[in-house]
């Protein structure tokens, strides 16, 4: 009698293990299906296109859905001149200058067209409010440096900061 009890315990143990493995496999398949759905759905709605020369991108050739165009100068840079920090995110910029009495920030929008960057301040402070400044830009890939050269800018606060070398952070 003890043999039959012992063998039925082994069968129950192997059945429980088999059921557990089947449940884990089903959960894994379900998790994969759910993640595939969300990743696939997100990739259709929010597409990023990295453009090195934006003027070559025409509206009628854009993919469907929301498109975020990323310029090669997007990111955070620090000035090799005075340590100021320039952050470019899409069509907005901020220049943060650390100072003993607080930081002086210049905020606004930026439009990149070819090798020209147009800055327009929109900060609530009166630092060159709504003034535009145009700069040529280039990236030295070897040194990972962004260089702005003044084209025209009447805002002294901005023109004293931008036309220098900026290193990517």
Domain assignment of residue 88, given as a range: 71-168
**Closest C-alpha among 88, 108, 86, 89 to residue 97:** 86
User: pLDDT band for position 76 (50/70/90)?
Assistant: very high
Do 24 and 54 reside in the same domain of the chain?
yes
93 and 136 fall within a common domain: yes
Q: What is the pLDDT of residue 55?
A: 46
One domain for residues 7 and 53: yes
The domain that contains 91 carries what CATH number?
2.40.128.490
53 pLDDT more than 50: no
Beta carbons of 103 and 44 less than 8 angstroms apart: no
Last residue of a domain, one of 51, 67, 83: 67
Of the three residues 67, 85, 119, the one that is the final residue of a domain is 67
- Give the residue from 116, 96, 92 showing the smallest Cα distance to 106: 96
What is the chain's length? 169
Those residues with Cβ within 8 angstroms of residue 112's Cβ, 6 or more apart along the chain or in another chain = 54, 71, 73, 137
Q: Which of 135, 115, 128 is nearest to 154 (CA)?
A: 128
62 and 127 assigned to the same domain: no
Out of 67, 83, 105, pick the residue that ends a domain.
67
* Contact of 108 with 121, CB cutoff 8 Å: yes
Residue 30 has pLDDT above 60, yes or no: yes
**Residue 47, SS3?**
strand
In the structure, what pLDDT confidence band is assigned to residue 82 with cuts at 50, 70 and 90? confident
């Amino acid at each position: 009698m003890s043999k039959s009890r012992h063998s039925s315990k082994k069968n129950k143990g192997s059945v429980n293990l088999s059921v557990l493995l089947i449940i884990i496999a089903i959960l894994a398949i379900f998790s994969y299906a759910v993640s595939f759905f969300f990743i696939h759905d997100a990739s259709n709605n929010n597409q990023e296109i990295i453009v090195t020369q934006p003027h070559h991108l025409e509206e009628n050739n854009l993919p469907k859905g929301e498109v975020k165009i990323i310029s090669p100068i997007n990111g955070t840079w620090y000035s090799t001149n005075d340590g100021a920090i320039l952050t470019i995110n899409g069509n907005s910029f901020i220049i943060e200058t650390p100072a003993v009495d607080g930081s002086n920030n210049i905020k606004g929008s930026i439009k990149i067209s070819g090798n020209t960057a147009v800055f327009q301040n929109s900060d609530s402070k009166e630092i060159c409010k709504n003034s535009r400044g145009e700069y040529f830009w280039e990236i030295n890939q070897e040194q990972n440096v962004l260089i702005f050269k003044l084209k025209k800018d009447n805002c002294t606060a901005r023109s004293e900061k931008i036309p220098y070398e900026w290193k990517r952070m």
